[in-house]
């Protein structure tokens, strides 16, 4: 077997750590308070989907939302990583979607339950190809956009993140060990909304990368 490369991080089976409510305008559009420390949740590696495969609406949801986000790919493991050296742990980036079953999330929130059903289903984490670190000299100056069927839904700069990429790496590594091949989704700007079967989602980072996914519906599981 050849040596594996972090440039194909989605094949490593490592964890996907997501940050929520990291843009004030998005927190406001969902009527959430601004966080005083990062809001974290996880997706399993089975959530990954690459261009050429479809995003599947879970059979238990009728309100699947898009959330375009900057993903940070870890190149070096660490625990309790100091803020000053956090960026040394970054191998590169990826354009990511945090697909969210909003109706299910709303029910979970109302009952005080975890968001697993809403956020961690198969195909809930579409990702672009690996973006080498040099292509994004400053993760606080990344212009994200997302269109559905050619209509712009989201456009936002990572300059508006509440918690910066180095802060997130340092904070998360104080909660759980970070490993090579892990991916951190850093939160979405405003403009999230529903997608339906047969829709086409295009997303991009200005001057860096773009990707396209079709939406399909997952057949319900028959016992």
Ligand X SMILES: O=C(O)/C=C/C(=O)CC(=O)C(=O)O
User: What is the contact surface with ligand X in residues (CB under 6 A)?
Assistant: 18, 20-22, 26, 30, 32, 67, 98, 100, 187-188
Q: Is 173 in the site for Mg ion (CB under 5 A)?
A: no
Q: What is the dihedral of CA 24, 159, 148, 56, to 10 degrees?
A: -80
Alpha carbon distances (Å) from 180 to 46, 66, 91, 161: 17, 27, 9, 24
When the beta carbons of 18 and 131 are compared against ligand X, the nearer one is 18
- Candidate list 23, 26, 55, 67; residue touching Mg ion; CB under 5 A: 67
Q: Which of 165, 199, 183, 176 is nearest to 48 (CA)?
A: 183
When the beta carbons of 96 and 136 are compared against Mg ion, the nearer one is 96
- Candidate list 188, 191, 195, 203; residue touching Mg ion; CB under 5 A: 188
Residue 87: CB atoms within 10 A of its CB come to 14
Report yes or no: 162 and 33 within 8 Å, Cβ to Cβ.
no
- The site string for Mg ion over 75-114 (x = CB under 5 A, - otherwise) reads -----------------------x----------------
Residue 22 beta carbon to Mg ion: minimum distance, rounded to whole angstroms:
8
For residue 30, how many C-alpha atoms fall within 13 Å in the half-sphere facing its CB?
Answer: 25
Nearest residue (beta carbon) to ligand X:
20
Residue 119 beta carbon to ligand X: minimum distance, rounded to whole angstroms:
7
Residues in the chain: 223
Q: Which residues bind Mg ion (CB under 5 A)?
A: 67, 98, 188
């Amino acid at each position: 077997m050849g040596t594996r490369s972090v440039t194909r991080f989605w094949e490593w089976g490592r964890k996907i750590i997501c940050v929520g409510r990291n843009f004030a305008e998005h927190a406001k559009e969902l009527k959430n308070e601004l966080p005083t420390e990062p809001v974290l949740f996880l997706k399993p590696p089975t959530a990954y989907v690459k261009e050429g495969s479809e995003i599947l609406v879970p059979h238990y949801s009728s309100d699947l939302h898009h959330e375009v986000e900057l993903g940070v790919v870890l190149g070096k493991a660490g625990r309790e990583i100091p803020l000053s050296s956090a960026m040394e742990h970054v191998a590169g980036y990826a354009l990511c979607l945090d697909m969210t079953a909003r109706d299910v999330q709303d029910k979970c929130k109302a009952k005080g339950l975890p968001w697993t059903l809403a956020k961690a289903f198969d195909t809930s984490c579409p990702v672009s190809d690996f973006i080498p670190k040099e292509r994004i000299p400053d993760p606080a100056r990344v212009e994200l956009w997302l269109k559905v069927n050619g209509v712009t839904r989201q456009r936002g700069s990572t300059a508006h993140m509440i918690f910066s990429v180095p802060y997130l790496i340092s904070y998360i590594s104080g909660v759980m060990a970070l490993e090579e091949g892990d991916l951190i989704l850093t939160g979405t700007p405003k403009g999230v909304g529903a997608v339906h079967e047969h829709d086409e989602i295009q997303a991009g980072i200005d001057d860096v990368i773009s990707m396209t996914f079709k939406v399909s519906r997952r057949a319900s599981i028959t016992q």
